[in-house]
Amino acid sequence: MSKMYDVIVIGAGPAGLSAALYAGRARLKTLVVEKKKEGGQIALTSEVENYPGCVEGESGPTLIDRMYNQAKHFGAEFVYDEIESVDLQGSIKQLNGKKDVYKSKAVIVATGASSRPIGCPGEKEFIGKGVSYCATCDGSFFEDFDIYVVGGGDTAVEEAMYLTKFGRSVTIIHRRDELRAAKSIQDKAFKNPKIKFMWNTIVKELKGDGILNTMVVENVKTREQTTIVADEEDMTFGVFGFIGYIPKTDIFKDILTLDHGYIVTDENMKTNIDGVFAAGDVRVKSLRQVVTAASDGAIAAVQAEKYIESLK
């Protein structure tokens, strides 16, 4: 027989861990269900500077480690499982995982989002063989090699700057003629002598023999294509994709109200179903940062507590 909880949090990123902390402190019986590993996207970040109160030299993993231990300290339980389907109607919510079935009075969805693929032929074949979506994980593999970063937003430019620690050169490939990143971030990138730019350009194809060694790019205005071949001594180069994220909401289609895949909530993190809340990158919002994810999680947990009290 499945164990009954007050609150189940799906996902252990900053939003989920914050929700677990607040729910645990409220003496709610809390379970966090995480598919793989705590942290979400922030766990892939080498340096965190904009989270209030973070220590000098803070990284994604160190911040998440403290959040995780704090949630556990207040009684939150953790289990590794993948939720495959849900029944969220009624006073008892049921989550069906690969390993077990979980039941609760309230659910907080904090499943986050995953990296959006570049979307060109050859991309899948060379993941881990030249193609990556994590500078922290794979940057060191391209020590003194040429590196290409696809994207023009905050993340793309920040990660490009991080990759200059490793690459001989880092070229940002952007489909527009100007970056979308914050002005302060752009200024740093333009001043970095290792960073180059390919404007109005998209990646058309990635090729190689076992490892990536050739990339075809196209100018979106002239339609002229250029083939980039790895240096003979290097035999490869790195291509890092940072062009946005895909919300992890497949199991909630036709159940929760979505907008371009993101869960629609009100300012109290309430979804269209009573007792179901969403927090963090998975929901519709204007800013996706650790600080806003943590805020979402706190609000969701407090609202979940109020909802549970209303059931008595």
The structure's pTM equals 0.77
Domain that holds residue 189: 124-241
258 and 178 in a single domain? The answer is: no
CB 129 within 8 A of CB 208: yes
State the Cα–Cα distance between residues 27 and 222, nearest whole angstrom. 62
Residue where one domain finishes, among candidates 241, 259, 285: 241
The total number of structural domains in the chain stands at 2
- 10 shares a domain with 95: yes
Q: Residue 45: pLDDT above 90?
A: no
Q: Which of 155, 163, 161, 154 is nearest to 135 (CA)?
A: 163
pLDDT tens digit sequence for 199-209: 999 999 999 99
Q: Please give the pLDDT value at position 131.
A: 95
Structure tokens at 229: 């071949």
Catalytically annotated residues: 134, 137-138
Residues 216 and 276 in one domain: no
299: part of which helix (H) or strand (E)?
A: helix 290-310
Which residue, 212, 241, 270, sits at the end of a domain? Answer: 241
Domain shared by 26 and 41, yes or no: yes
Q: Quick check: helix, strand or coil at residue 99? A: coil
Question: Confidence class of residue 46 from pLDDT cuts 50, 70 and 90?
Answer: low
Residues 168 and 203 in one domain: yes
pLDDT (tens digit, 9 = 90+) per residue, 88-123?
Answer: 999 999 999 999 999 999 999 999 998 899 999 999
Tell me: do 219 and 166 sit in the same domain.
yes
Ramachandran angles phi, psi of 39, nearest 5°: 125, -40
Task: Mark whether 172 and 190 lie in a shared domain.
Answer: yes
- The mean per-residue pLDDT over the stretch 164-174 comes to 97
**Residue 130 and residue 235 share a domain:** yes
| Domain at 74, CATH number | 3.50.50.60
User: Given 241, 270, 288, which residue is the final one in a domain?
Assistant: 241
Sheet containing 131-132: order of strands: 131-132, 238-241, 146-150, 169-173, 195-198
Rounded to whole angstroms, the Cα distance separating 214 from 217 reads 10
